[in-house]
Amino acid sequence: MILFHVWSILLNMWLPYVSPVVPDWCYQSQHTCATPCNGPEKWYHANKDCEGRAQSPINIVHRKTLTDERLTPFQFRKYQDSFSGLIKNNGHSVQVNVPHQPYVIGGDLEKPYKVVQFHLHWGKNGGPGSEHTIDGEQYPMELHIVHMNEEHSTLEDALKDPIGVAVLGFFYEESLSANRKYDPVVRALQRIMMTGANTTLVSVSLEQLIPPQQNLSNYYRYKGSLTTPGCTESVIWTVFEKPIPLSRDQLRVFSDLQFKDGKPMVGTFRPVQPLNGRVVYRSGGAVVVASTAILLASVTMAMGLSQPD
């Protein structure tokens, strides 16, 4: 009995050294969690990958992007199918798990990539809050639909593959009228204010949450990482130009969610990361070629017309 007692005292003394308690990560260091937390500038303390050379998000400078004609429009398969999924306040964001049926092909992806989950990043009461920025402009919110290569069966496996994950990023813009297609999501938020809370999002489709497909042919592409720890560099990023409209009131509801300590869940974005020589590509090569052909044809025609007979 005494031996056991001594043993447990020793164990308690040594345990903190054997398995040190890793502080939770958070978006702002000054934000006081119940326990200290690591802000973005300290994420690498727990995850070395967070100081890697190919991190996300980034600022996309349009005039420095290169057109790549292989970046054809995506085909969104089973995006129109309704599903029911768990929507959860995970303490850092709101995340919806999607049954592995919808997938994308095209867009220069070698294989079909199936949807795993989607989540959002936002600011404060509809203020700036996207993760990616375009020419320095930050949008009020950003949607990330996380896909994994169909060859993998878990996200954990896919993250070990340098091209295992494809995230589709969509910006939001403030609109005058409410986007009724977002009513189920906005209503569900009111039931998951507290960290850890979840509810079922019933009968929604991914199609209703993104712009119509014909508006999605313009996008940017680069190789990057998860934007939260572990910051794994296994993500093929696609950032669409066309934003999703939401009213100010709809955007504001996200700021009613709470972090673990009860403070408003706001500013849930990682600052932009250095490019370190990476090139950002953009779609639209084929369109340029087509318009050049039309231009040439019309010049030829005009010349033909102006020929004296």
- Which residues are identified as catalytic? 92
| Integer Cα distance of 108 and 168 in angstroms | 13
Instruction: Measure the CA dihedral 106/244/129/176, to 10°.
Output: 170
Task: Name the strand (E) or helix (H) holding 28.
Answer: none
**Of 125, 198, 209, the residue nearest 169 (C-alpha):** 209
Minimum CB separation of residue 106 from Zn ion in Å reads 22
How near is the Cβ of 16 to Zn ion at its closest, in Å?
32
Q: How many CB atoms lie within 10 A of CB 252?
A: 17
Binding-residue pattern over the window 18 to 57 for Zn ion, x denoting contact by CB under 5 A: ----------------------------------------
Residue with the closest Cβ to Zn ion?
A: 144
Listed ranges 27-35, 60-68, 142-150, 296-304: which one lies at the site for Zn ion (CB under 5 A): 142-150
Return the sign of the alpha-carbon dihedral for residues 74, 182, 82, 119.
positive
88 is a site residue for Zn ion (CB under 5 A): no
Residues 144, 147, 221, 282: which binds Zn ion (CB under 5 A)? Answer: 144
What is the nearest approach in angstroms of Zn ion to the Cβ of residue 237? 10
User: According to CB under 5 A, which residues from 223 to 252 bind Zn ion?
Assistant: 227
Instruction: Specify the pairing of strand 103-106 against strand 113-122.
Output: antiparallel
Between 65 and 225, name the residue whose CB sits nearer to Zn ion.
225
Neighbours of 181 (CB within 10 A): 16
Query: Please, what is the minimum distance in Å from the beta carbon of residue 304 to Zn ion?
Result: 54
Interface with Zn ion (CB under 5 A): 144, 227
